[in-house]
Amino acid sequence: MDDAIDIQRPRTRRRVAWRAAAGIVVIAGGSVLAVIALQRNGAAPAAAAPAVATGTATVARTSLSTVDQVSGTLKYTGTYTLTGGLTGTLTRIAAEGATLKRGDVIAEVDGRPVYLMYGDRPAWRGFQSGMSDGPDVAQLDRNLIALGYATAAQLTPSNHYSAYDIAAVERWQTAMGLTADGTIPAGQIQFLTDAVRVGKHHAEPGAMVQGAAPVADATSVTRGVVVALDTAKEGEVKLGQPVTVTLPDGSTAKGKVDSIGTVATSSGGGNGGSSTTSVEVDVSLTDQSALGTLDGAPVSVDITTATARDVLAVPIIALTVTADGHSAVDVVGSGGAVRRVPVTTGMYSDTMVEIRDGAVHEGDTVVVPQT
Q: In this structure, are strands 223-230 and 365-369 parallel, antiparallel, or unpaired?
A: unpaired
Q: What is the mean pLDDT of residues 70-78?
A: 93
How many Å apart are CA 208 and CA 85, to the nearest integer? Answer: 12
The dihedral over CA atoms of 90, 91, 93, 95, expressed in degrees to the nearest 10, equals 130
The domain segmentation of the chain, as residue ranges, is: 17-68+313-369, 69-76+223-307, 80-219
CB 101 within 8 A of CB 93: no
- DSSP conformational letter for 5: P
The pLDDT, as a whole number, for residue 269 is 59
What does pLDDT average to over the chain?
Answer: 85
CATH number, domain 69-76+223-307, options 2.40.30.170, 2.60.120.380, 2.40.37.10, 3.40.50.150: 2.40.30.170
CB 125 within 8 A of CB 184: no
pTM value is 0.67
List, for residues 295-313, the tens digit of each pLDDT value. Answer: 889 999 999 888 889 999 9
List, for residues 146-195, the tens digit of each pLDDT value. Answer: 999 999 999 999 999 999 999 999 999 999 999 999 999 999 999 999 99
| Residue 137 scores a pLDDT above 70 | yes
DSSP 98-160: -EE-TT-EEEEETTEEEEEEE-SSPP-S-B-TTPPP-HHHHHHHHHHHHTTSS-TTT----SS
Q: What is the mean pLDDT of residues 283-288?
A: 93
Length of the chain: 371
| Residue 65 scores a pLDDT above 90 | no
CATH number, domain 17-68+313-369, options 2.40.50.140, 2.40.420.20, 3.90.1300.10, 3.50.4.10: 2.40.420.20
